[in-house]
């Protein structure tokens, strides 16, 4: 089910190899409403498939009235929607757990917001015509590998009701250009509000099924399990999180922050996949003040926040905490699980004020 590092053990060579392939968004990029493509985080389990868009087809089949085989031009000829969507990896925060589940060792940076262009999935499912008794759609990517001894193509499912939501897209564009290879060229699923694992890249088939899908990435991975034999709850929507641009300037290599005493405006972004963010607080050494919120960049995208702070000389620990309209908030202590999922523990930034 996954390996847990010995308590206190440092990052392994294998984790380093994962981290250099799957890198986060540098937090200074939080200044942008829409993250430049090259700064958006990346998570690829296996190898990036290099796909020839001319030869590529999307097959829609299974429990449908009419099986489809679509070219990228067929998909582009459907109604086009463009919207900003914030995406976050469910493993964001994993490396801040102790003991640490061994996987990509994210701190707080597995995030990004892109302007995604595509066509609503619902219209294509209507063309195919789901037969009565369909419970889920299975989305399969072109990438293949082994995880935990299980050899599979990357695949995830969604219940019919979720798949039919109007914001769920088959996306072929990112920030006004075709998808880059690492983000799923030529086509990916995009499920706003959910953690990133649901948004299957390099999509090659959609299958309507009458029984819940039991593939590895659905039934084994992406669960909140306290122990290996805990069935746990499946991971779905993004928990609330606020992140700040670390103020001041960093040391290289330890990245400790330095800034001068005086009035500082701390800025960041906040999001939640459950409900719009309603509140952000900045914590300085455990004292919390209200941040000012800007309008969200979109219904499914983060919103900017700022908070002023009178920085006095000395060492300070800054934190930020988001709360959403459903009353979900970020914990001050991490909630541990075997796979290191959904750790939305508040961010902590140490600064030295001179």
Which of Mo ion, ligand MTE, none is residue 141 near (CB under 5 to 8 Å by kind)?
ligand MTE
Cα 345 vs. chain centroid, distance in angstroms?
15
Indicate whether 42 belongs to the interface with ligand MTE (CB under 6 A).
yes
In the complex, least distance from residue 307 CB atom to ligand MTE, rounded to whole angstroms: 28
Q: By the 8 A CB rule, do 111 and 91 touch?
A: no
Q: What does the block give as tokens for 88?
A: 């976050």
Helix (H/G/I), strand (E/B), else coil: 323? strand
By CB under 6 A, is residue 29 in contact with ligand MTE? no
- Which of the ranges 38-46, 51-59, 210-218, 291-299 carries the binding residues for Mo ion, by CB under 5 A? 38-46
Q: Is 35 in the site for ligand MTE (CB under 6 A)?
A: no
What are the DSSP calls for 197-225, one per residue?
GGS-SSEEEEEEESS----IIIIISSEE-
What is the three-class DSSP state of 15? Answer: helix
Q: Which is nearer to ligand MTE, 141 or 240 (CB)?
A: 141
The stretch among 12-20, 36-44, 303-311, 325-333 that binds ligand MTE (CB under 6 A) is: 36-44
Q: Which stretch binds ligand MTE (CB under 6 A): 41-49, 252-260, 264-272, 307-315?
A: 41-49
On the 0-12 / 13-18 / 19+ scale of CB atoms within 10 A, 35 is buried
Q: Tell me if 346 contacts ligand MTE by CB under 6 A.
A: no
Contact status, residue 338 vs residue 101, Cβ threshold 8 Å: yes
Binding window for Mo ion (CB under 5 A); candidates: 10-18, 64-72, 81-89, 134-142: 81-89
Q: Please provide the DSSP assignment of 72-114 as one string.
A: HHHHHTS--EEEEEEEE-TTTTGGGSSSPBSS----S--EEEE
Interactions with ligand MTE, residue window 148-207 (CB under 6 A): 154, 183, 196-197, 199-202
43 lies in the site for Mo ion, by CB under 5 A: yes
Residue 302 found at the interface with ligand MTE (CB under 6 A) = no
Contact code string over 123-152 relative to ligand MTE, x by CB under 6 A? ------------------x-x---------
- Site residue total, ligand MTE (CB under 6 A): 18
Q: Which of 259, 253, 214 is nearest to 234 (CA)?
A: 214
- The residue within the footprint of Mo ion, chosen from 49, 196, 268, 342 (CB under 5 A), is 196
Phi and psi (nearest 5°) for 126?
-65, -40
- 89 is a site residue for Mo ion (CB under 5 A): yes
CB atoms within 10 A of CB 243: 24
Beta carbon of residue 154, minimum distance to ligand MTE (angstroms, whole number): 4
Residues in the chain: 354
To the nearest whole angstrom, how small is the minimum distance from the Cβ of residue 202 to ligand MTE? 5
Residue 194 DSSP symbol? B
- Residues contacting 211, CB < 8 A, separation 6+: 135
Candidate residues 5, 25, 27, 40; the one interacting with ligand MTE per rule CB under 6 A:
40
> Is residue 43 a contact residue for ligand MTE (CB under 6 A)?
yes
Residues that bind ligand MTE (CB under 6 A): 40-45, 87, 89, 141, 143, 154, 183, 196-197, 199-202
Residues that bind Mo ion (CB under 5 A): 43, 89, 196-197
């Amino acid at each position: 089910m996954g390996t847990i590092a010995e308590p206190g053990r440092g990052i392994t060579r294998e984790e380093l190899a994962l981290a250099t392939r799957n890198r986060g968004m540098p937090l200074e990029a939080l200044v942008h409403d829409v993250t430049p493509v090259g700064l958006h985080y990346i998570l690829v389990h296996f190898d990036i498939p290099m796909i020839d868009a001319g030869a590529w087809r999307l097959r829609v089949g299974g429990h449908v009235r009419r099986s489809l085989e679509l070219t990228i031009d067929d998909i582009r000829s459907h109604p086009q929607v463009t919207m900003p969507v914030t995406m976050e990896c469910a493993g964001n925060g994993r490396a801040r757990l102790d003991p640490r589940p061994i996987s990509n060792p994210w701190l707080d940076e597995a995030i990004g917001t892109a302007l995604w262009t595509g066509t609503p999935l619902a219209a294509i499912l209507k063309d195919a015509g789901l037969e009565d008794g369909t419970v889920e759609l299975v989305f399969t990517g072109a990438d293949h590998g082994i995880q935990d001894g299980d050899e599979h193509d990357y695949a995830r499912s969604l219940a019919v009701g979720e798949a039919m939501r109007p914001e769920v897209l088959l996306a072929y564009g990112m920030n006004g250009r075709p998808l880059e290879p690492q983000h799923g060229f030529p086509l990916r699923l995009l499920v706003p509000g959910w953690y990133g694992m649901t948004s299957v890249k390099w999509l090659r088939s959609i299958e309507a099924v009458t029984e819940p899908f039991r593939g590895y990435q659905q039934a084994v991975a992406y669960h909140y399990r306290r122990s290996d034999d805990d069935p746990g709850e499946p991971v779905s929507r993004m928990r609330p999180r606020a992140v700040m641009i670390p103020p001041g300037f960093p040391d290289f290599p330890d990245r400790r922050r330095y800034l001068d005493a005086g009035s500082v405006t701390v800025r960041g972004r906040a999001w939640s996949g459950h409900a719009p963010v309603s509140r952000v607080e900045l914590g300085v050494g455990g004292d919390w003040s209200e941040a000012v919120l800007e309008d969200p960049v979109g219904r499914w995208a983060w919103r900017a926040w700022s908070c002023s702070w009178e920085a006095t000389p000395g060492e300070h620990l800054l934190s930020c905490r988001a709360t959403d309209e459903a009353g979900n908030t970020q914990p001050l202590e991490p909630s541990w699980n075997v796979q290191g999922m959904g750790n939305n523990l508040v961010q902590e930034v140490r600064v030295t004020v001179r």
